[in-house]
Amino acid sequence: MSFDNQVAIVTGAGGGLGSCHALELARRGARVVVNDLGSAVDGTGQSTSAAQSVVDEITAAGGTAVANCDSVATPAGGAAIVQTALDAFGRVDILINNAGILRDAAFKNMTPEQVDAVLAVHLQGAFNVTRAVWPVMREANYGRIVQTASGSGLFGNFGQANYGAAKMGLIGMMHVLAIEGARNNIAINAIAPIARTRMTETIMGEAGKALDPELVTPVVVYLSHPSCDRTAHIYSVGGGKVSRVFIGQTKGIENPELTAESVAAAIDEIDDTATFTIRGGLAGA
């Protein structure tokens, strides 16, 4: 799969998963905007060296990339990231919303500030960059967007109510943009990755050895390619395993005289996942 003549923006690409995505897209011919604020895992601090070192690596390998060190967390930052792509390369075909931070705490201890900071980078960050790229993709009648979600939001994980909520926000955003972007050939999908990076290495221990971040990138590359005909799909990916995660609706029951008691009596049947549908939008089947 080649990306000749295409331009990709990868946010938070100064290290970890984002740098793997940026390097591989560039190796396959894309010109890449390597965005990274250069912050610590908790989002504090900033530095231009993270983004620049990935640009240097791409350039040394014969690829083309430019660095951008704006924060995704503000509308001005989102606009500046997209403008960097337009100034350098004149187009944007691919956006990988990947930048992220952690501020974990058990819910009983979670502060409003921990909630705001995490929502600002993951959820509003994706809005800020996607909002800026949307008119460019609509005008070109083409776009591929990948959201970086998480098993934490899809399935739950202790101490990550802020993070899980932000990550599921990205899924809601994806479902709506898949519908709104369809007529302009803009596809948007999500990954729930698992990989050994600075964000996870302290908690993964031995298990992390098999979880190279490079093993997440192939799914991102596939979802970024013109040949990808999927939209609004979620893929769990890590350590070479890939599977689809989906939201299904059970067959349930129908009772025009529904009461709390009849719900209680039928709750096992309502919950029964033996028959389910995956709906294509609220208005879909």
Catalytic residues: 163
Residues of this chain, 99-118, that bind ligand NAI according to CB under 6 A: 99-101
Residues of this chain, 47-66, that bind ligand NAI according to CB under 6 A: 50
Do 196 and 150 meet the contact criterion of CB atoms below 8 Å apart?
no
User: Among 25, 73, 96, 161, which residue sits at the site for ligand NAI (rule: CB under 6 A)?
Assistant: 73
Using CB under 6 A as the binding rule, whether residue 8 contacts ligand NAI is answered as no
Cα 116 to Cα 129, 166, 240, 266: the distances in Å are 18, 10, 34, 40
Provide DSSP, 99-147: --------GGG--HHHHHHHIIIIIIHHHHHHHHHHHHHHHHT-EEEEE
Count the neighbouring beta carbons within 10 Å of the beta carbon of residue 1: 12
Using CB under 6 A as the binding rule, whether residue 32 contacts ligand NAI is answered as no
Question: What sign does the dihedral 251-237-50-111 (CA atoms) show?
Answer: positive
Judged by CB, which is closer to ligand NAI: 11, or 231? 11
Using CB under 6 A as the binding rule, whether residue 38 contacts ligand NAI is answered as yes
User: Residue 208: what residue type?
Assistant: G
Binding mask 122-161 vs ligand NAI (x if CB under 6 A, - otherwise)?
Answer: ---x----------------------x-x-----------
Q: How far apart are CA 77 and CA 73, in angstroms?
A: 7
Count the neighbouring beta carbons within 10 Å of the beta carbon of residue 233: 18
Going by C-alpha positions, the residue among 131, 120, 54 that lies closest to residue 92 is: 131
Residue 243: strand pairing partners? 236
Using Cβ positions, the residue closest to ligand NAI within the complex turns out to be 16
**Shortest reach from residue 14's CB to ligand NAI, in Å:** 4
User: Among 7, 12, 21, 93, which residue sits at the site for ligand NAI (rule: CB under 6 A)?
Assistant: 12
Judged by CB, which is closer to ligand NAI: 120, or 142? 120
**Shortest reach from residue 38's CB to ligand NAI, in Å:** 5
**Shortest reach from residue 42's CB to ligand NAI, in Å:** 9
Question: What sign does the dihedral 190-19-202-166 (CA atoms) show?
Answer: negative
Please work out the total of residues on this chain that contact ligand NAI, with binding judged by CB under 6 A.
33
Q: Which residue has the tokens 């208005």?
A: 283
Q: How far apart are CA 213 and CA 273, in angstroms?
A: 33
Residues of this chain, 185-224, that bind ligand NAI according to CB under 6 A: 193-195, 197-200
User: In the structure encoding, which two tokens stand for residue 20, read together?
Assistant: 């793997």
**Shortest reach from residue 160's CB to ligand NAI, in Å:** 10
- Contacts with ligand NAI, residue ranges (CB under 6 A): 11-12, 14-18, 35-39, 41, 43, 50, 71-73, 98-101, 121, 125, 148, 150, 193-195, 197-200
